[in-house]
């Protein structure tokens, strides 16, 4: 798997038998897949937490007849973490120990629907006359779009790890 930075070459031993395959920077394939499995498990754990927090948010909003922005943020944050964990699992092992800061631009674009929905929930607390185009919820009527945007923002953040030199989007 050369595309991921793995070098799987079996070196013959003096007895003529093949040794265990050498992988990225001396790590075995089992160790690499163990770390990847850990990050995938963390991603699914974060998705489970987001589901629990979303249910709590919906129950609280229905009983209080208002949105609690902090509780909604507790729903979006695990979604961002889930995307980041999954992207890190896909990118590991990292070819270079640096971060591609250009990926944060993609994360900023992906998180816009979630920020807009948060602003709509937050803006009625103030006596400011906002333009109708800013506070209309019709941009993303379905709550799945801000949730998917949060996951995609997490993926963009996670993909920034292990950047290679010479890519056009790196700073």
Between CA 156 and CA 150 the distance in angstroms is 10
Is 116 part of a structural domain of the chain?
yes
Is 69 part of a structural domain of the chain?
yes
The 10s digit of each residue's pLDDT in 33-71 is 898 899 999 999 999 999 999 899 889 888 887 778 888
Q: What's residue 82's pLDDT?
A: 94
Is 123 part of a structural domain of the chain?
yes
Domain containing residue 65: 41-159
Between CA 116 and CA 142 the distance in angstroms is 13
Is 24 part of a structural domain of the chain?
no
Residue 65 is classified by DSSP as: T
Is 28 part of a structural domain of the chain?
no
Domains in the chain, number: 1
Is 60 part of a structural domain of the chain?
yes
Is 78 part of a structural domain of the chain?
yes
Rounded to a whole number of angstroms, the distance between the first and last alpha carbons of the chain is: 27
The 10s digit of each residue's pLDDT in 115-129 is 888 777 777 666 677
Q: What's residue 44's pLDDT?
A: 95
The pTM of the full predicted model, rounded to 2 decimals, is 0.70
- CA-CA distances (angstroms) from residue 73 to 39, 64, 95, 142, 163? 22, 17, 33, 17, 29
Structure tokens given for 98: 């640096």
The answer for 16, left when phi > 0, alpha when psi is -120 to 50, beta otherwise, is left
């Amino acid at each position: 798997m050369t595309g991921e930075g793995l070098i799987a070459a079996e070196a013959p031993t003096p007895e003529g038998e093949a040794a265990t395959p050498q992988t990225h920077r001396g790590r075995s394939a089992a160790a690499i897949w163990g770390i990847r499995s850990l990050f995938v498990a963390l991603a699914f754990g974060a998705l489970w937490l987001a589901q629990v927090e979303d249910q709590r948010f919906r129950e609280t909003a229905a009983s209080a007849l208002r949105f609690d922005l902090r509780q909604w943020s507790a729903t979006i944050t695990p979604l961002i973490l889930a995307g980041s964990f999954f992207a890190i699992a896909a990118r590991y092992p990292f070819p270079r120990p640096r971060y591609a800061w250009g990926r944060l631009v993609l994360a900023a674009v992906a998180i816009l629907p979630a920020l807009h929905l948060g602003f709509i929930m937050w803006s009625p607390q103030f006596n400011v006359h906002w333009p109708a185009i800013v506070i209309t919820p019709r941009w993303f009527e379905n709550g799945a779009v801000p949730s998917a945007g949060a996951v995609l923002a997490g993926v963009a953040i996670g993909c920034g790890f292990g950047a290679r030199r010479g890519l056009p989007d790196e700073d």
